[in-house]
Structure 1
């Protein structure tokens, strides 16, 4: 059995592997083979919750697994993902630590960018400077030939640190901006990865044909995007319509459901690299966290690590540290 932690993931091309795994999970969902019920939270008397997702797939190479993570106050957000083979009943491996959840969410965002943004998209705006912003940007750099990135964060010091760190990592010019509006102006792709419960960008700021990924809060009680962006979009998609109906508070688009129908990312037609709507039309992806994707990602990473060990090669791939 393989046990992987953050140190092992940091030495692997984890995001590229995770994007492959998410594509496979979405294909399983489209074929009706994905097991992906909404997440379940167990509260601990106001201190936070333990949150569980169970998922996997049927058919060839069937997988089953779970993810458990916490929402307790603290500087870490550790989690556990376990993967079983349904055919053998074998526990294939376990992934522990902070990184996998952000990598999985980044990979889902990368697939959304691949399927929903213009193939020529090269300029990115990032609103936020935390771990989710980093993994979303890394995924974008894998699926699109990026030329320039502009970033805004309410914490100017963190904004500058993000620009320096990710610019060196991705070998891209990344410019810190003094406002979200300046960052968004002219961007082909806009990544919102904040914890803001009030809108951080406006529809009027977006260029025609921009694609927006939203990772942060998205209930009627608080949402990082204004409803006008969804109303402007020619297509609004999510990775889990089931999850959007299972939030504690209603999904932020629920009051405008007739005007803003949600598409399922797994069902989008066309090639994996072509935008499914007109080149000048805005698109929006609302990341909900499709259950089962973490099991696919963990399984892909475990298999890659095992293959490398069995081939007698080093278990490192070079530096991929965040």
Structure 2
């Protein structure tokens, strides 16, 4: 069994490679070549939880699961909100091949999936990016968006102004891009061509009345039925795409709450990203359409990332081999 730690995951899973891997596995999922069970969630105290996410990649002959803790209460403590691991089994023999750090996989693959959605749904001339939130996902989403669109300006918002300024200083140095700190969400999103919501909020931070025509939104912060980052008007205005229909119908407050309110119908969801990639459903058809990708995070994304990391680790002789 190979053990791959967090530093090695960051070394072996480049964002550009991960975008390619995510595009492929999302297509496989919608085509039935990748299989997963709905995330099992064990609630803990103070809104924290443990999640179990099993899946099977038929073409790669690997199966496994991610076990992840989601602790929103860690924000401000210096500890990450998402911690865990991904197990990788040979599906033909049942042999445990690897255990891979799950925190860094989550950070990279979540942004990579948003990049896939942006590549297919955002306007080709999109150049102003708004990021709501300043945590690990904000950083990885900035990296990912820069790879799929020619971004000339980034606007960042945080509930804590000091965190937004720290993000501005660190990321502008790292990527050489112009970053502006906004004092309100409205100020951040008004000029935006692409919006990434990566907050820990359980109540809407983004309102539909603030959106300009033609914007594309990646909403990935909320992953429980009672939680949302978007108000109902935002969802009503948008062509909605999801990573997995089953997950959206069971886990996405951003979709379920406006559905319950009667603001939208089940027909609001155009389909899955895998269907869009394969060309079986349509994407953006006009420059003025508002498009929305709601990402919840999928087991097959973690497995595909872990399998890529495992193969790279074998090739480059990374990781620690442990008799098990």
**TM-score tier (shorter):** 0.7 to 0.9
Match of 1:132 in 2: 137
The question of whether the paired residues in 1 share the 8 Å contact of 2:152 and 2:177 is answered with yes
Query: Offset at 1:267?
Result: 0.6
Matches within 5 A, 1:284-299: 284-299=292-307
TM-score normalised to structure 2 length: 0.86
Query: Which residue of 1 is the match for residue 194 of structure 2?
Result: 189
Contact persistence 1:117–1:275 (CA under 8 A): no
Query: Who is 1:264 aligned against?
Result: 272
| Unmatched runs of 5 consecutive residues or more in structure 1 | 310-314, 317-322
Distance 1:40 1:216, change over 3 A: same
- CA, structure 1 residues 163+230, in 2 after alignment: closer, same or farther (shift >3 Å)? same
Aligned-pair CA distance for 1:263: 1.7
- Confirm or deny that 1:180 pairs with 2:185: yes
> Which deviations, in whole Å up to 9, do the C-alpha atoms of 1:31-82 show, x marking residues without a partner?
2111121100234566843210001221x32221100012355424320101
Tell me how far apart the structure 1 counterparts of residues 176 and 286 of structure 2 sit (CA, whole Å): 31
Within the candidate set 160, 163, 171, 1:166 is matched to 171
When residues 154 and 135 of structure 1 are mapped into structure 2, their CA distance, relative to the original with a 3 A threshold, is: same
> Take 2:229 and 2:47, find their aligned partners in 1: how far apart are those partners?
24
Asked if 1:102 corresponds to 2:107, the answer is: yes
**Contact 2:30/2:272 (8 A) holds in 1:** no
1:245 counterpart SS class: helix
**Match of 1:245?**
249
| DSSP-derived class of the 2:299 partner | coil
Instruction: Give me the whole-angstrom Cα distance separating, in 1, the residues matched to 2:208 and 2:274.
Output: 26
Unaligned runs of 5+ in 2: 320-324
What does residue 322 of structure 2 align with?
none
Query: More deviation in 171-180 or 73-82?
Result: 73-82
CA distance in 2, matches of 1:164, 1:45: 36
Distance 1:121 1:155, change over 3 A: same
Alignment equivalent of 1:282, drawn from 281, 286, 290: 290
Q: Distance in 2 between matches of 1:248 and 1:61?
A: 29
User: Which residue of 2 is the match for residue 14 of structure 1?
Assistant: 14
Distance 1:193 1:280 in 2: 24
Give me the whole-angstrom Cα distance separating, in 2, the residues matched to 1:248 and 1:182: 26
Distance 2:302 2:142 in 1: 19
Indicate whether 1:39 and 2:39 are aligned. yes
Q: Is the 8 A contact 2:40 2:51 kept in 1?
A: yes
- Look up the match of 1:156: 161
CA positional deviation for 1:219? 5.7
Instruction: Label 1:28 to 1:164 Cα distance change in 2 as closer, same or farther (>3 A).
Output: same
Aligned length: 307
State whether residues 15 and 107 of structure 1, in contact with CA within 8 Å, keep that contact through their aligned partners in structure 2.
yes
Counterpart residue number, 2:316: 308
Rounded Cα–Cα distance in structure 1 between residues aligned with 2:161 and 2:18: 31
Contact 2:85 2:103 (C-alpha < 8 Å) held by counterparts: no
More helix by share: 2
Which string of whole-angstrom CA distances, capped at 9 and with x for unpartnered residues, describes residues 217-258 of structure 1?
26663421111111111x101101111222397822432224
